[in-house]
Amino acid sequence: MSNFKIAVCQMLITNHKRDNLKKAEAFIREAAAAGSQWVVLPEMFNCPYDNKYFPEFAEAFPGATTTLLSDLAKELELFIIGGSIPEHCEDKIYNTSFIFDSQGRLTGKHRKVHLFDIDVAGGIRFQESEILSPGKSVTVVKTPQCPVGVAICYDMRFPELMRLMALEGAKVIVIPAAFNMTTGPGHWELLARTRALDNQVYFVTASPARNLEASYHAYGHSMIVNPWGTVVAQADEKEGIVYAEVDLGLVEKVRRELPLLMHRREDIYEVRKKGWEYSI
């Protein structure tokens, strides 16, 4: 069991796909040159986070974006979690993360399960379901280092999904995510640290940088949290790359010394499905 270096690329996204792809390539090459074995891109890294852009920027697989990621993964011998892009499949559009191994092979993909449909008074209204369709899968991918769970943004608010990934063997959970200036300041770090603690994993969030000229202002603050709930690396709102070393030995140590995953009372949880008996 060995440690490995992970890079999270916090990109400033524009409304020009070609420019976004050039920037993603530059960031991936920089991360590889710095010795990273895994590189993570943000949610909707080739497209502004805005419903009106999703149909215009959507690609079927394989397409320009996924071909670029595959070629870079193979050339640089990297494991790339390709943030997410609008994926066109049949007559639907999904918010999808494509994942490539160091041979450039598509080793997994995650379609966002929980669509971001919110209306916060005095804050933000966004309805992904007006354009996007939901995925239906729990995504855990094997890597040479360890299994990794991948989900997208709003998915991280649902502990059931995160726990399923941990139970399927994930020791790292990666979340490309574009929280905003309403939800980000209150919930971003709190959720990331809680999910790391809940599941005793490294929890990695990858946000776009904040573009004040865009219609949607991302919170930024991409971070890497260890299984003890400590933030080991974090960006601010600006563009840049966040690096950290993932210590798989720490995952095993925390799970051994505080074995909450082993202490789960599935007998009680199963009873709840049949009708709970409350004691007062």
Best CA proximity match to 63, nearest among 17, 8, 112, 16:
17
CA angle 103, 104, 105 (to 5 degrees): 95
CA angle 234, 238, 243 (to 5 degrees): 35
Determine whether 146 is an active site residue: no
Determine whether 153 is an active site residue: yes
Strand partners, 225: 203, 231
52-to-19, 87, 88, 126, 211 alpha-carbon distances in Å? 19, 14, 15, 12, 17
Determine whether 112 is an active site residue: yes
Strand partners, 148: 141, 172
Q: Are 246 and 216 in contact (CB under 8 A)?
A: no
Spatial separation of the C-alpha atoms in residues 205 and 172, rounded to whole Å? 11
Spatial separation of the C-alpha atoms in residues 254 and 279, rounded to whole Å? 33
Catalytic residue, chosen from 9, 17, 23, 43, is 43
Catalytic residue, chosen from 128, 146, 153, 239, is 153
Spatial separation of the C-alpha atoms in residues 162 and 174, rounded to whole Å? 10
Catalytic residue, chosen from 17, 23, 109, 112, is 112
- The answer for residues whose C-beta is within 8 angstroms of residue 157's C-beta and 6 or more apart is 114, 187, 191
- Active-site residues, by number, are 43, 112, 153
